[in-house]
Amino acid sequence: MLPAFSPLGEEEVYLTESSGRYLSRDLVAGLDSPPFDNSAMDGYAVRASDVALAEPDAPVRLPVQGESRAGGPLPGDLEPGAACRIFTGAPMPSGATAVVIQEDTDSDADGVLIREASHQGKHVRARGSDVRAGTILLRAGARIGPGEIGLLASQNISRVQVYRRPKVALLSTGDELRALGDPLEPGAIVNSNLYVLTDMLHRLGAIPVALPAARDTLPEIESALRTALEADVVITMGGVSVGAYDFVQEAFKNVGIEPRFWKVRIKPGKPLAFAQHAGKPVVGLPGNPISAMVTFEILVAPCLRKMLGDPQPHPQPVLARLRDAYTRRPGRVEIARAVATREGDEIIVALHGQQGSGSVPSFVGINALVILPSDATELAPGTQVEAILWGSGLMGSRSPFDTIG
Ligand code: AMP
Ligand code: MG
């Protein structure tokens, strides 16, 4: 599927609206950062050579020549043998080479007593020491988060070029489906997959476009598909299996969507279909709620991350150990819902007791998808497995500082 998904064009957005977006170009620093030599501490700016011999018992006395504070008037040149009162973030006076922290000084009417030697550059944040103008700040493909926003803001970059966010049409199929809040007559259920996938798309940074659910008839599905094909990606839900009312694949063919493959050897999620319309990706997800979520997360989300501009779109599994024994039938790779916790040096995964593909409550509280090899049968407690951390990952009641003491 992955080759069918490519980044769309780029667009310019304000930095303040760029959270979660992927840069489409390398960004070069326009400024030195810090932009001027400044003090890292409150104290006195000096020439290091003037205080080289200072000791607690043999302080050096210097006259104080003015002050420099953050945002204040620029200080004049520092004369040899003098000190300048200085505060954190304030520009260094020209001639000064070090800062002596306030705690190592005493001041009186005649000047300041320096009680510790300092060396060149001590407590000075030199111009350009973090970033030199002209160097690469961030590479294309970087995702904008708090750290990136801080860096770009400090460079006075207010707009960035990012990849466009794909519009993803969500087309549910099924006579039984009702929109949230609609009355539920006997035999009807809420179209819960629509709301699940809308949330999952939001989290990725794609734009969900919810279409009205189509009933299980060829004409209705075909006409909904034609509308859906206006989006960048089409995702259908349900009707893709072998039942007498599963019309989705036939409807694909009738509107010129060409099948690529059908059925994947994973559990849950076997009846997934992948197809393309003039290159545009069309994914037929199974309707069972758990199958839809798992196949979306494992197979579709990496493709969409690639389309969003992520150069490394695959989730990296961690190694974990099974808490409990698990017996299963071999044949398909199984993607099991689990709760992961840290115990000592290890991640322990407790598989949810209900691994059926229709059980909606079994995804609540889950923070890991455990990948069980297709040939595994009897899995003993402690068996090492791969797990994809999901949602907010490992969280718990212990603060990270508890172990530091
Ligand atoms: P299907 O894949 O159409 O055979 O549906 C399989 C099961 O998933 C059936 O029990 C459907 O009622 C249910 N289902 C299908 N689509 C949805 C949906 N959008 N939301 C919730 N359940 C669904
Ligand atoms: Mg159906």
Q: What is the pLDDT of residues 381-395, one digit of tens each?
A: 999 999 999 988 898
The structure tokens 């949230």 sit at 180
Nearest to 91 by CA among 45, 28, 57, 53: 45
218 C-alpha to center of ligand 2: Å?
13
Expressed in angstroms and rounded, the spacing between residue 173 Cα and the centre of ligand 2 is 6
Range list of β-strands (E), 173-257: 177-178, 189-190, 207-210, 233-237
Q: Is 177 in the pocket of ligand 1 (CB under 6 A)?
A: yes
DSSP designation for 40: S
Q: Is-cis flag, bond preceding 268, omega within 30?
A: yes
Pairing relationship of beta strands 111-114 and 326-327 according to DSSP bridges? unpaired
The number of the ligand 1 atom at minimal distance from the alpha carbon of 194 is 19
pLDDT for 386:
98
Give residue 156 CA to ligand 2 midpoint distance, Å.
53
- The answer to whether the beta carbons of residues 350 and 339 sit under 8 Å apart is yes
pTM of the model: 0.94
Residue 70 C-alpha to ligand 1 middle, in angstroms? 63
Cα-to-centroid distance, 174 and ligand 2 (Å): 4
Count of Cβ atoms closer than 10 Å to residue 94 Cβ: 11
Judge whether 292 and 241 are in contact, CB under 8 Å: no
| Phi, psi of 57, rounded to the nearest 5 degrees | -85, -15
Residue 397: predicted pLDDT: 82
Q: Is 243 in the pocket of ligand 1 (CB under 6 A)?
A: yes
CA 399 to chain CA centroid, Å, is 22
Determine the number of helices (DSSP H) and then strands (DSSP E) in the chain.
Answer: 6, 29
Closest atom of ligand 1 to 192 CA is 20
pLDDT of 404? 66
The pick from 175, 195, 237, 250 for probing ligand 1's pocket by mutation, whose C-beta has the most ligand atoms within 8 angstroms, reads 237
- In the structure, ligand 2 is a single-atom ion and the residues with CB under 5 Å from it are 174, 238-239, 287
287 Cα to the center of ligand 1, angstroms: 4
DSSP designation for 221: H
Helix (H) / strand (E) element for 304: namely: helix 301-308
Within 249-313, strands assigned E span: 258-262, 266-267, 273-277, 280-285
* pLDDT score of 261: 97
pLDDT given at position 396: 85
Structure tokens at 311: 């150069």
Which of 171, 177, 220, 362 most suits a substitution to test ligand 1, by most atoms within 8 Å of the C-beta?
177
Q: Kindly state the helix (H) or strand (E) to which residue 253 belongs, with its residue range.
A: helix 248-254
Type of residue found at 80: P
The Cα 181–Cα 274 span in angstroms is 32
Please indicate whether residue 176, judged by its CB atom, sits closer than 6 Å to ligand 1.
yes
Ligand 1 proximity of 268 Cβ (cutoff 6 Å): no
> Which ligand has its closest atom nearest to the C-alpha of 217?
2
- How far is the centre of ligand 1, averaged over its atoms, from the C-alpha of 212 (Å)? 15
Q: How far apart, in whole angstroms, are the C-alpha atoms of residue 44 and residue 50?
A: 12
For residues 67 and 84, is the Cβ–Cβ distance under 8 A?
yes
Enumerate residue ranges in the chain where pLDDT < 70: 403-405
Q: Which residues pair with 350 in a beta bridge?
A: 339
Distance CA 1, CA 16 (A): 33
Which residue has tokens 């322990």? Answer: 348
Q: Which ligand is nearest to the CA of 178?
A: 1
Give nearest CA residue, ligand 1 atom 17: 287
Using alpha carbons, select from 30, 28, 35, 44 the residue that is nearest to residue 129: 35
Q: How far is the CA of 246 from the centre of ligand 2 (A)?
A: 6
Q: Is the CB of 208 within 6 Å of ligand 1?
A: no
